[in-house]
Structures are given as C-alpha cells and as structure tokens.
Amino acid sequence: MAESSNYMQPSVPKFDGYYDHWAMLMENLLRSKEFWSVVENGVTIAPPMASANQQRAADESKLHDLKAKNFLFQSIDRTIMETILDKGSPRDIWEAMRTKYQGSIQVKRAQLQAQRRDFEILAMKDNESINDYFARTLSLVNKMTAQGHKMESTDVVEKILRSLTS
C-alpha cells in the first residue's frame, strides 16, 4: 500500500491583472522549485567538446527551463498568452509580462483611462444577478484603485443603483 503524505502541491498563482502581486507569488514558487535561475540567467549551454559534467549541467538547465516555462504558462490566461507566444524562454516571458503589465507611467495612465471608460459604460446585464454585477463592479473599482485612482464609495453605490436592470 502506498504511503499517504500530508504534503500538498502548491497551486500555481493565476495572473489576475495585478502584476506586482502575481510576480511576487510566481517568483516565490519558481525559487522554491529551484527554477528561478533560468528566469534570471537564462539557460546554460554546453560548450563544444563539453565534459560530462558540463553536458549534465546544460541538460539540467534545459529541463529547468521547460519546467519554469510550464509554470508560467499555467499561470497566464490564453488571451495574454497569445500576446507573448513569440517568447521562447522563461526570462523572455517574465520580461514581456513585466513590460506589459508593470509598464511605464504612460502605460498605467492608458490602463486607467480604459478602466474609467469601462466604469462609465458599466451596466447590469439582463440575465445577471445583483451579486454578480456587484462583484464585477467592485473588481473594476479595485483595479482602478490599484492604478492610483481615488474613488468615493458613494460614487460606486450611485453607479450600481443607476445601472440596475428592472
């Protein structure tokens, strides 16, 4: 009979739009699995006429590269994945995510502007429950707040009440 273990595999953090939080969790996971070095330094390539130890280190590095990439792919949703498909290494994927989501001040302003527009046109769908609509509204408000936008709770409540369906 197999021995049971109380050890649980850590879950892969899913990217939810909050880059800094995701990056901290992902880096911790990759470090705990000893794959962070391929994100920081890339893959070790064996030189021509490599010794057995050099070849073994290169093979191990390639395996770590694949495993790190696997964790990153699991954490990123398909729509985001499509924008970074040409990134071949964990390092490239990490940098693409950092550039796209941590971004510059201009990128953050553009994201906030898009979120403000989304908030302005936000309306409850015909078949949507109040709880679902409220959760969707709060999610958008939280994203705006994370971008540095100050919003009064009365504005949010007023928006919800104005846009409820009958």
Tens digit of each residue's pLDDT (9 = 90 or more) over 53-75: 999 999 999 999 999 999 999 99
Do 85 and 131 belong together in one domain?
no
Q: How many domains does the chain have?
A: 2
Give pLDDT tens digits for 113-152.
999 999 999 888 888 888 998 899 988 888 888 777 888 8
How many residues does this entry show for the chain? 166
60, part of any domain: yes
The rounded mean pLDDT for the chain is 85
The type of residue at 39 is: V
Do 85 and 146 belong together in one domain?
no
Residue that wins the pLDDT comparison between 106 and 90: 90
Do 59 and 113 belong together in one domain?
no
Do 71 and 137 belong together in one domain?
no
Do 134 and 77 belong together in one domain?
no
User: What token pair was written down for 93?
Assistant: 């994927």
121, part of any domain: yes
Do 94 and 114 belong together in one domain?
no
Check if the beta carbon of residue 38 is closer than 8 Å to that of residue 45: no
13, part of any domain: no
- pLDDT band of residue 1 (cuts 50, 70, 90) is very low
Do 121 and 138 belong together in one domain?
yes
Tell me how far CA of residue 43 lies from CA of 2, 64, 89, 92, in angstroms: 36, 8, 8, 12
Residue that wins the pLDDT comparison between 32 and 87: 32
* Domain-terminating residue out of 81, 102, 123: 102
**Owning domain of residue 69:** 19-102
Do 53 and 87 belong together in one domain?
yes
Do 94 and 137 belong together in one domain?
no
Do 48 and 74 belong together in one domain?
yes
- Closest Cα partner for 75 from 40, 29, 119? 29
Do 26 and 88 belong together in one domain?
yes
